[in-house]
Chains A and B, each alone.
Chain A
Amino acid sequence: MESEIYTYKNTPPKSCANDGLLAGRKAVIQPNMSVHGWLCDAGSLALEGFIALEDATVAARMRNAGAELVGSSRMSELGLGLTGDTAARILASGEADIALVTDTMGEARVAAAGSGLFGFKPSFGTVSRFGLIGLVPSMECFGIFGKRLEDIIDTFSVIAGKDKNDPSMPDEASLDFSSTRKPLKTRCTAGLVKECLDILPERERKAFRKGLARLEEVGLTIREVNLPDFDLFRLVHHIVASVEASSSAGKYDGVRYGHRSSSGKNWNDMYLNSRGESFGSLIKTFLFQGAYFQFENYPAFENGCRNRRRLVRVVTDLLGQVDLLVFPTRRLEHDAERAATINQIYDAFLLTLPANVTGQPSLHVPSLAIDSGKDIGVQLIGSRLDDLRLLSVGLMLSSTAQGGK
């Protein structure tokens, strides 16, 4: 089977339980989410031909809830960025209602922004990572995007919750979904981060302000807040994520699975050649950068970790003053799908990666801030584990959002 948009197409799909919450809904996943018997190569030659032996907890829960997994979309190598990602195309074609993609620096939200859809990244630790073929364990999680926010909420409620196979999930990360689908009763204040607004070009800022006006229309109070450390997010993400990536990609040695170079006199050669031939230049650059911090500049990594803790504190303090933060989702001049260097990737995800650094939930609401037909996006960021309030606010906006299309 060769397809431009699917890595694995599930034909014919298994018949599913038809009384579950997700009965009748079709989902496309990525080949970095394990499904027993499926090719799961995470978009990399390093996993060439790797067939998963077990279901990811997320995959098993979705199927048990009646979802039909139609296949896995092509993805950027090891989930870094959106280059070559086809999940949005599959949703646009109507072959699936929801897509699950790893969100390491904002992939689910930015992909949604590019296709007029809702995109959601849950709080870190609410969804099991068992079976996720990841790259940056402390930042990535399954993100969900799709046309209807209700589909996203239902999917999230199915995949969230403790899993004995992922002991890293904190005990307190259980959410009560019973109240999610009702609109919020209390008034809600959203903090507009001035530093985010400042980096937008004039026209995009105008469009974004229109989006803010829509928030006010549904009853949110907007208050400007300051986050002077905003520039640090990118730096901290870059250092910590590249180090974790270098470490976690160390397992791709061609010994147990994946591409193994046919040349080489000894194991060391085999190792170097296999990795050299497997990885694309983008991921190679990222791994090199991480290795640099690991081996040559460890103090910078330690500093990165310290600053990460500081950013968590700073944002937590801000969220003591307001109920949620509101960011634009993207800047139109920085196209994630065309990013060809690590710097371009970071430019494209500058506004979404803070939530990955801090582990907070983040929801992209489409169609509220359009400039020349393109969506800048309104991105809501909540306190950690306050995912449900975020989704409720999203629901309030969703009628407006869909109406605006």
Chain B
Amino acid sequence: MKFEAVIGLEIHAQLNSATKLFCDCPNRPGDEPNRNTCPICLWLPGALPQLSQEALEKATLACLALNCEIQPESAFDQKVYYYPDLPKGFQLSQHHKPIARNGWVDIVGEDGGIKRIRIHHIHMEEDVAKLIHEMEGKTPISLVDFNRAGTPLIEIVSEADMRNPYEAMEYVKTLRSQLRYTGSAECSLEQGTLRVDANISLRPWGTDELNTKVEVKNMNSIRNVGDAIAYEIVRQTNCLEKGETIVLHTRLWDPERCVTLPMRGKFSGPCIPDPSVPRIVVSRDWLKEMEGRLPEMPGQKMERFLKEHGLTPDEAANMSLERDLSEFFEAAVKQGLPPRKVANWMTTHLVPALRDRNHTIGETLLTAERFARLLSMLEKDIINAQAAKEVLLQLLSSEETPEEIVEKGHLRQVSDTAELEAVIDRIIAEHPSDVEDFRRGNAKVTGFLMGLAMKASQGKANPKLLKEILTKRLNSIP
């Protein structure tokens, strides 16, 4: 029998508000352990939660960015379970009345068509503390770091609208891009600011059945999400083919061995309304203000880039994926450069360089203005592409102007015809047999000689001019 996978994702995104959700402690889980704590997030006796306005605003923006309906009234519940990472003995979470419902994002499916993935709801909740298990001599000990306790999260619960790992990965990518645009969340799977749990079930192809699902956790990259789902589909298919029944449980993805393994059942308790956090009642004016704060979203921006800047769909998609890069792109274009040139340079040179350094554009010294000056030197044939690449890398960490770097590195392009002619003449003289080959009709020789000539000029020759001269000389040899 052929099976179809039914996939839904539950995604936790950490909001980047300055403080925790219910107290004024800094929202910096990575600091020295237990530095960012107070009686409220340690939940010492007598404490009362105080909802952070900023966290609420950031959550609202995130929900709006995912096309959700903000609920006129939302409220927090106590999700009861007992674990040392949970200082209250319950987690404050919006179980009964979430902040937003009925959202969606559009993804590009495997066949290139647009597919809409619906979002069931988004709720706010507080994160738990971090447990560290160590050995003290021969005794195992557990330490608790409360820095993360009480930091704000939103949980985005999709409908089970995805059918294969590709769609799940695209959904995470799209959602991440939209969330980052709002400036509310960093959304790094690698750093744990975005956590994806996948619910996967199978059904006979062509039916509408909804079967018992298995939850898979612990994927810390988008690739892992795809791999874990793919593995789970195969595993469940094998089970069903052997006539086994699927039981509801949770599995952990093991990235080393590339398998999912069952985890000990986590006890999950009821949710009772919390009497201490006031209900959140959203006024029309406030909601309007929030909507006004929402930036242009990647989809709209892509459309605009197609129209205004004449980019191809691929280029427009690349240039609009991340807000910081899209703004950098537009700022560079404003300096009067051809948009497609800017886009191509960003995609082929700038983005890989940032990835190598593990930096965002804002973390480097490169500005759109400096980038534009570099590209305009290239446009004006002052430098060649090879030199421009070199200067670009230096601009990331240097405060010098592109012009200064070019002068210092003697990178200015040689466009002096006489100088280039001399180089060509020497190369031709030194390689008589290759010239002979050319005369017999082997056109490939041109490329080989070009390479030698460029090398001889230390990479500084104007390539267009150099090629012209070489062609002219070769053709003039009788």
Contacts and interface: CB of A to CB of B under 8 A. Distances in A.
B447 to A, nearest CB: 69
Contacts of A244: 272, 275
Contact of B89 (A32, A40, A130, A250): A250
B272 A294 contact: yes
A271 B48 contact: no
A382 interface: no
A42 B276 contact: no
Interface stretch (A115-123, A165-173, A191-199): A165-173
Interface string A8-48: 00000000000000000000000010100000101000010
B80 A247 contact: yes
Contacts of B51: 167
Interface stretch (A80-88, A251-259, A324-332): A251-259
Interface residues of B, number: 28
Nearest to A168: B276
A255 B144 contact: yes
Given A244-B272, A247-B89, A251-B89, A165 B82 contact: no
B26 interface: no
Contacts of A133: 45-46
B81 to A, nearest CB: 9
B171 to A, nearest CB: 33
Nearest to A247: B78
Contacts of B262: none
A155 B84 CA distance: 40
Contact of B269 (A32, A34, A52, A295): A295
A288 interface: no
Interface string A104-142: 000000000000000000000000011111000110000
B313 to A, nearest CB: 49
Interface stretch (B36-44, B178-186, B336-344): B36-44
Nearest to B88: A251
B278 A168 contact: yes
Contact of A137 (B89, B270, B276): B276
A250 B48 contact: no
B80 A267 contact: no
B44 A257 contact: yes
Interface string B65-83: 0000000000000101010
A53 interface: yes
Given A253-B84, A267-B84, A294-B272, A53 B39 contact: yes
Contact of A167 (B44, B78, B278): B278
Contacts, number: 87
B275 A294 contact: no
Interface string B275-298: 111100000000000000000000
A305 interface: yes
B109 interface: no
Interface centre among B39, B87, B272, B277 (most CB of A within 10 A): B272
Contact of A253 (B45, B78, B82, B269): B82
Interface string B127-149: 00000000000000010100000
Interface string B18-52: 00000000000000000000010011111011110
A279 interface: no
Contacts of B87: 251, 255-256
Nearest to A258: B45
A247 B44 contact: no
Nearest to B78: A247
Given A250-B82, A250-B89, A251-B89, A294 B46 contact: no
A179 to B, nearest CB: 29
Contacts of A165: 48, 50
Given A52-B46, A56-B46, A294 B270 contact: yes
A47 B39 contact: no
A298 B48 contact: no
A40 B50 contact: no
A137 to B, nearest CB: 4
A267 to B, nearest CB: 5
A301 interface: yes
B89 A249 contact: yes
Contacts of B44: 53, 256-257
Interface in A200-254: 243-244, 246-253
Contacts of A269: none
Given A166-B48, A250-B80, A256-B42, A298 B273 contact: no
B48 A167 contact: yes
B90 interface: yes
Interface string A68-101: 0000000000000000000000000000000000
Nearest to A272: B82
A277 interface: no
Interface string B418-454: 0000000000000000000000000000000000000
A271 B81 CA distance: 12
A52 B39 CA distance: 10
Contacts of B82: 250, 253, 271
Contacts of B39: 53-54
B46 A132 contact: yes
Nearest to A166: B48
Interface in B45-67: 45-46, 48-51
Contacts of A54: 39, 46
Interface string A136-150: 011000000000000
Contacts of A251: 43, 45, 87-89
A342 B50 CA distance: 33
Nearest to A290: B272
Interface in B248-306: 269-270, 272-273, 275-278
Interface string A283-309: 000000000001100100100010000
Nearest to A165: B48
A296 to B, nearest CB: 10
B144 A40 contact: no
Contact of A250 (B84, B88, B273, B276): B88
Contacts of B80: 246-247, 250, 294
Interface centre among B46, B88, B270 (most CB of A within 10 A): B46
Nearest to B146: A256
Contacts of A298: 270
B269 A294 contact: yes
B358 to A, nearest CB: 36
Contacts of A131: 46
Given A54-B39, A251-B89, A255-B84, A42 B45 contact: yes
A250 B43 CA distance: 11
- 9 nearest A-B pairs in the assembled complex, by CB-CB distance: A250-B89, A138-B275, A133-B45, A137-B275, A131-B46, A34-B46, A251-B89, A294-B270, A168-B276
21 contacts: A32-B45, A34-B46, A40-B46, A53-B39, A54-B39, A129-B276, A130-B46, A130-B48, A131-B46, A133-B45, A133-B46, A137-B276, A164-B50, A167-B48, A249-B89, A253-B82, A255-B87, A256-B42, A256-B44, A294-B80, A294-B269
Given A250-B88, A305-B273, 16 more contacts: A52-B45, A54-B39, A132-B46, A167-B48, A167-B49, A167-B277, A168-B278, A247-B89, A250-B80, A251-B45, A251-B88, A253-B82, A253-B84, A255-B84, A257-B45, A271-B84
Interface of B: 39, 42-46, 48-51, 78, 80, 82, 84, 87-90, 142, 144, 269-270, 272-273, 275-278
